[in-house]
Chains A and B, each alone.
Chain A
């Protein structure tokens, strides 16, 4: 290796760095120790490198850059967490909405078949302007009609009720099952347009929850209508008329 070759190699040498241990510089550095002119050149080269290196090292990051980098990253992470949580909340909200919808969807199937609701519905039917399916004063025709239409027809009337005149019948519905509605006229003055003032509803007793035990009529008032509910055999009977408790008791 001659002097020029050594200079060429040492141009890339950085003093006070790991370059001193780099094998690519070993031979050239050993030549520096033997060649005074090369050593002089090398000394000035190292001084220039030091000067330039020191100049580059004068570059200082502005105050607060480190803190800015750290704080902005922390803020970014918070946003990521917030977005993740928002996403989870959106999923949770969607699940809740689905549950609510499912509940609303299923609710009609989980029906209330209590006696109270049955009583309200039947009284409501009697008070509304209903149309009798069969108008007759013949109890046998009523029974026959109901039987033909697969509504309860083998009902047993209390003795006092058999003395009240029938006016006809209709078939009502209770949660898909047929209810026989037998209409009577007690003889009291009727409101204009009315044909009946006493109604008896008969249904299979298993279709209504909380039906009263046999022999113990249950009285209740719905609006102006007094009702009595009782069971006998496999039937639940509901009798209603406008008036007071005494009015209904005398018919049982």
Chain B
């Protein structure tokens, strides 16, 4: 049981990385705050059911991801599109400018990815988790994580560099 974990300490340890993950998925500050807060709220109600304290971080990320997917499902049923989101055009960044990216460019590119690639790519770059933990968070086998990552990273790279050649193998291109 994870009874011994103090709520404030838990929030202090994980709210920042959870928010980064939430923002990577939602691309909206208010939504990311809601997701982060909701995750801790669920922890307060159900966290005592977790037997292994070492799994707390994974549990929190899994919960946040589930909440995001749940919210997305509702959004699809009842679409709510902001004007600036609809008009957003992804800027094309030259390959040489990859070292000068800003968050908005990267997250805009991330948002262009299919949903199944978005969460693994975000977790990959946030670098808080091993591949095994990413598989636990996303509740898919580790092999699936790797294949989604390979495709997701490839597409993200192409979006950022303006290389729109679909299906061209990444291994044959310069990183």
Q: Show the binding face of A for B, using Cβ within 8 Å.
A: 4, 7-8, 11-12, 14, 17-18, 22, 41, 44-45, 47-49, 51-53, 55-62, 65-66, 68-70, 72-73, 76-77
B98–A51 touching, CB < 8 Å: yes
Of B50-58, B70-78, B82-90, B122-130, the one contacting chain A is B122-130
- Compute the total of residue contacts between A and B using a CB distance below 8 Å: 100
> Do A59 and B23 touch across chains, with their CB atoms under 8 A apart?
yes
Question: Within the complex, which residue of B19, B20, B149, B157 is in contact with A12, where a contact is CB–CB below 8 Å?
Answer: B149
Task: Please name all residues of chain B whose beta carbon is closer than 8 Å to the beta carbon of A52 when the two chains form the complex.
Answer: 98, 101, 106, 125
Contact A12 B150 (CB under 8 A): yes
Contact indicator B36/A69 (Cβ below 8 Å): yes
Number of interface residues of B (CB under 8 A): 41
Distance to closest chain B CB from A116 (angstroms): 65
Give 24 CB contacts A-B under 8 Å.
A4-B171, A11-B153, A11-B171, A12-B124, A17-B127, A44-B175, A45-B175, A48-B99, A49-B125, A51-B101, A52-B125, A53-B127, A55-B125, A56-B106, A57-B20, A59-B20, A59-B23, A59-B24, A65-B37, A66-B11, A72-B37, A72-B41, A73-B41, A73-B44
A51-B33 contact given A41-B175, A61-B19, CB 8 Å threshold: no
Inside 8 A of B106's CB, which chain A residues have their CB? 52, 55-56
B residues near A (Cβ < 8 Å) are 7-8, 11-12, 15-16, 19-20, 23-24, 29, 33, 36-37, 40-41, 44, 98-99, 101-103, 106, 122, 124-127, 130-131, 146, 149-150, 153-154, 157, 170-172, 174-175
